[in-house]
Structure 1
Amino acid sequence: MSTDQHHAAVGSGHPLISVVVPSYNHGRYIGACLDSLMFQDYPKLEIVITDDASTDDSVAVIRRFLRDVAGATASYACRYDAAEDVIERAVHPRYARTGRRIVFLRAEANGGSTANYNRGLAHCTGEYCTFVPADDICHPQLFSALARPLLDDVADFAYADMFVVDDDMRILREFRLPEHSFDASFRNWYLCGVAKLYRRALHDRFGPFDETADADDHECFLRFALGGARFIHVPHTLYSVRSHEGRENGLHAPGRFARLLEHSKRLTLMAREREPAPPGAWREEMVSTVGPVTPDAPGVPGAQGANAPHPVAERVVLTDEERSFFTEGHGATAPQPPSDNDTEARRG
């Protein structure tokens, strides 16, 4: 059985995982982030890259990645031919040719990080989903490990431990999170939401990310927890998050980050005043609930502003079959596969 056939056979019993990769001016980092997703050992991933009108070279880096996925090769030394005194090399695709669907969304104007999450989420089709910031790195077993408790139906939301690394990928510290309880993950402080995977149906029940929230993931996942989502800690270090020391911008700009911490303080106090619904209650409620929970639903923070449209200037889809492109948008053109003389794309 070939590698592709093996992945197809294994993938047939695994739900599709959708991974949103929100990007804004992360051209230096996003290539490594996307590579870390392509080489996951989980067989079925949908990678939704959503660029929020970057002003650096992010879009060029993403287009290069799409071209490489479509046709770049690598090689390795495999045999010494003594008669000809030649070391023969075997050529193979640089990226696996099965199990990955890639969607690239380019916004025409910058709308902010939370709107960018929701833009990507709106294009997800997987049973499970998450988002991975474009400057982070997923270790190869991240999604296979986090999907297991969801597949076994013992949890709706799984999270793992992580390394904190600098721009040279030096490990600054290992961050081990507590075993889950509502107290440990939400009442003491927010400790669960970086390396994570969860059922996309939670968004169907409780709505997308709140675009008015400074601590958007904290607010959203607290909404899940209050509604009865089952959380579990997977005690393995499966992710590397980059330290922002020395490059404090975007979410980590001093004023922006201070507002995020203040909002997290308020959410922590809110958690101390409320009791979560019984584990799994959200599933029964979905049967009688039409659409996501509304802002004035009893006991649950709302998702104000989350249903606003998120138009894109361009949408490119790279399919699994023959690595073909489909494009939409104003003057959108498919990134072309590398040519035979494109030595950079075919480096070994």
Structure 2
Amino acid sequence: MDEDFRQGLEYRLEQLENRVALLERNLNLVAAGQRRASFRGLWRRPPMWTFEQHLPRLLNLNAFKSPPAIPANAPRIAMVTPSYNHADYIGATIDSIVGQAYPNLYYHVQDGASIDGTVDLLKSRGNSISWRSEPDNGQSNAINLGFAGVECEIMAYLNSDDMLLPGTLAHVVDYFMSHPDVDIVYGNRIFINRDGLEVGRAVLPRHDDKTLQYADYIPQETMFWRKRVWDKIGPIDESFHFAMDWDFILRAQAAGFKFVRLPRFLSCFRIHDAQKTTATYAIGVKEMGILRRRVLGFDPTQMQIRRAIAPYLLRQLAYHYSYRLGLLRY
């Protein structure tokens, strides 16, 4: 068989597989939406994985707790934004980080040679941020390139369509400084649409190591870790293109690092048609299977996964409605 023809056929099969997986996902979403009022519907689509929970509305940034004061000896934070053709959103991402006014911050945008106006936007920022635009081998590679050779104490990456909430860096640093035994923190998230309007919230219960072996419930855009984690387990595994954050988390857990869920909203996760989470869903299914087999030693069925994460989902449901009813405040 001609090599070009074979590669073309493989590419078309991969595209078809992605479309089938997305169709199955959309059918599940529709089915879950039709059962929204029932417990069964909530069980199939827990609030933390239900992005559009209500009609779009303005996000009130003044409704959150005031951040603690940043100490004079604030540790150095390094943040990287991997980017490719997200000119519509990356400006808000950059503003959400620079606007933290954190005095000891290294922030770098690693762009994959975008052709949509992103480079002009980065140039317009002058010296307020560090950035490079060059071809890369995908998101994982871009993150590693952005962190290469950087000296810091705390690390995080924020995708080019997500946003930090005001005061997030101050809250994270305050917790790390008062809890030297904690290695990785994360928090609650807010779902926003392409226009930056709020469409839902995810309020998470306390961290659960066992559940994490079956499902990645940690919102990546809210996660920060000490550099000692990176130094010990290594950088992002570039063989992963969807579940790279779960792989990093599982390696950190296996190495004995301590995780804590902070009881506050830290970041916004943007929902839009072109986001990678949707476009690479079939690849994600494969990669999540690889990680489960590696950690568990077997390939669990969907029923086994549901049973394993059931206690956590029930707790998340309780936290969600306690927050909605005003019993919990963040």
TM-score, normalization by structure 1? 0.61
Task: Provide closer, same or farther for how the CA distance between residues 194 and 183 of structure 1 changes in structure 2, counting only shifts above 3 A.
Answer: farther
Q: Aligned to 1:55, what secondary structure does the other structure show? A: coil
Q: Does 1:194 align with 2:198?
A: no
Looking at structure 2, the residues matched to 61 and 103 of structure 1 have their Cα atoms a distance apart, in angstroms, of: 13
Deviation sequence 1:257-309 (CA, Å, 0-9, x none): 221133123323543459xxxxxxxxxxxxxxxxxxxxxxxxxxxxxxxxxxx
Counterpart of 1:259 (choices 260, 280, 283) is 283
Report the Cα offset of residue 43 of structure 1: 3.0
The match for 1:137 among 158, 163, 169 is 163
1:163–1:174 CA contact under 8 A, matched in 2? yes
Higher strand share: 1
Distance 2:165 2:132 in 1: 24
1:220 and 2:248 aligned: yes
Contact persistence 2:193–2:270 (CA under 8 A): yes
Question: 1:31–1:65: 8 Å Cα contact kept in structure 2?
Answer: no
- In 2, Cα distance between the equivalents of 1:37 and 1:205? 27
Q: What amino acid sits opposite 1:126 in the alignment?
A: C
Equivalences for 1:123-162 in 2 at 5 Å? 123-152=149-178, 153-162=180-189
RMSD: 2.1
Aligned to 1:96: none
Equivalence for 2:74: 14
Cα 1:171–1:10, aligned 2, differ >3 Å: closer, same or farther?
A: closer
Q: Which residue of 2 aligns with 1:89?
A: none
Residues 1:169 and 2:193 are matched in the alignment = no
The residue type paired with residue 252 of structure 1 is T
1:261, 1:148 → 2: CA distance?
Answer: 37
Residues 139, 239 of structure 1: 8 Å contact kept: yes
SS in 1 for 2:221: coil
Counterpart for residue 232 of structure 1: 260
Highest CA radius of gyration, 1 or 2?
1
Q: Could you say what secondary structure the match of 1:160 adopts?
A: strand
The number of equivalent residue pairs is 227
**Contact 1:21–1:131 under 8 Å retained in 2:** yes
Moved over 6 A (4+): none
| Uncovered stretches (5+) of structure 1, i.e. residues with no partner | 1-8, 70-101, 275-348
CA contact (8 A) 1:24 1:52 kept: yes
Q: Deviations over 1:104-159 (max 9, x none)?
A: 1221x242111001000114221101000011110111111122332121310000
State how 1:176-187 maps to structure 2 within 5 Å.
176-184=203-211, 186-187=212-213
CA distance in 2, matches of 1:144, 1:16: 12
1:189 is displaced (CA, Å) by: 1.0
User: How far did residue 253 of structure 1 move?
Assistant: 5.3
Note if contact 2:70-2:174 (Cα within 8 Å) is conserved in structure 1. no
The answer on whether the counterparts of 1:187 and 1:269 sit within 8 Å (CA) in structure 2 is no
Q: Please give the TM-score of this superposition, normalised by the length of structure 2.
A: 0.64
Distance change (3 Å), C-alpha of 1:213 and 1:247? closer
The separation in 1 between residues aligned to 2:78 and 2:195, in whole angstroms, is 28
The within-5 A match list for 1:1-348 is 10=70, 12-66=72-126, 69=128, 102-107=129-134, 109-152=135-178, 153-184=180-211, 186-192=212-218, 193-214=220-241, 215-244=243-272, 246-248=273-275, 251-252=276-277, 254=279, 256-273=280-297
* Aligned-pair CA distance for 1:42: 3.5
Identity of aligned residues (%): 25
Write the deviation string for residues 82-109 of structure 1: whole angstroms up to 9, x where unpaired.
xxxxxxxxxxxxxxxxxxxx321221x2
TM-superposed CA distance for 1:32, in Å, is 1.1
Q: Within 2, Cα distance between the matches of 1:126 and 1:158?
A: 16
Q: Which runs of 5+ in 2 are unaligned?
A: 1-68, 299-330
CA distance in 1, matches of 2:183, 2:174: 11
